Amino acid sequence: MIGIMNNAGKAVFLDRDGTVIRDVGYLSAPEDVHLLPYAARGILRMRELGYRVVLVTNQSGIARGYFTEDDFKRVEARMEEELAARGAGLDAVYYCPHLPGGAVAAYAIECECRKPKPGLILRAARELGIDLGASVMVGDTEADIQAGRRAGCRTILLSTERVSLLIQPDAHAAHLLEAVEHLERWGRPK
């Protein structure tokens, strides 16, 4: 992973597509990786505030047969290169390749890691020693908000519009750097 791992027990869990990089739908080619505006600066600020930054992403394109796990890893490597070139980095990446009814039998299963289930977040917390009550999930879909809430995290929805959701996020932000403003506010003594 890129960057220095800190010993803090808190993390920001980030969705990938539509949160860190442009969502192009079933991304399989490294040359199609494009960081969203303010993504690297937001991640850098999160780390400066003492948060681990952990990517948690559904990748059903693997189960659908659209791309392989090796393709996914090449895309991730390109994203991390782009972040590193801007002084930012991730502490870990967790992904779910599953989809019930998928075309690739090995991945066509019901699992606990596919968001909106909290499995990816819970696994990361267990493996990295993260305090979920002090952590935040940031994403651009209701599934991200549900996964974060189910894991016991605060949540931030990246959206320029107020949308109707079954589970409301704790905050809204237009991009990751704006999400940092909520982290700063939540970190201040009351």
CATH (domain of 19): 3.40.50.1000
Mean pLDDT across the stretch 94-116? 98
Residue 1 has pLDDT above 80, yes or no: no
Q: What pLDDT, on a 0 to 100 scale, did the predictor assign at position 86?
A: 98
Mean pLDDT across the stretch 51-72? 98
Tell me which amino acid residue 138 is. V
Q: What pLDDT, on a 0 to 100 scale, did the predictor assign at position 162?
A: 66
Q: How many CB atoms lie within 10 A of CB 86?
A: 13
Confidence at 35, pLDDT banded by 50, 70, 90: very high
- Tell me whether residue 107 is in a domain: yes
SS3 107: helix
Contact between 154 and 148 under an 8 Å Cβ cutoff? The reply is yes
- Tell me whether residue 48 is in a domain: yes
> Sign (positive/negative) of CA torsion 37, 124, 150, 182?
negative
Please tell me the total count of domains within the chain.
Answer: 1
Domain that holds residue 71: 11-142+173-185
Helix (H) or strand (E) holding 142: helix 142-151
- Tell me whether residue 6 is in a domain: no
* Cα dihedral value 120, 124, 125, 129, nearest 10: 170
- Tell me whether residue 152 is in a domain: no
Mean pLDDT across the stretch 143-164? 90
**Pairwise CA distance, residues 48 & 4, whole Å:** 11
Q: What is the pTM of this model?
A: 0.93
Please give the positions annotated as active site.
15, 17
Contact between 135 and 122 under an 8 Å Cβ cutoff? The reply is no
Q: Average pLDDT, whole number, for the chain?
A: 93
- Tell me whether residue 126 is in a domain: yes
**Pairwise CA distance, residues 37 & 64, whole Å:** 30
- Tell me whether residue 125 is in a domain: yes
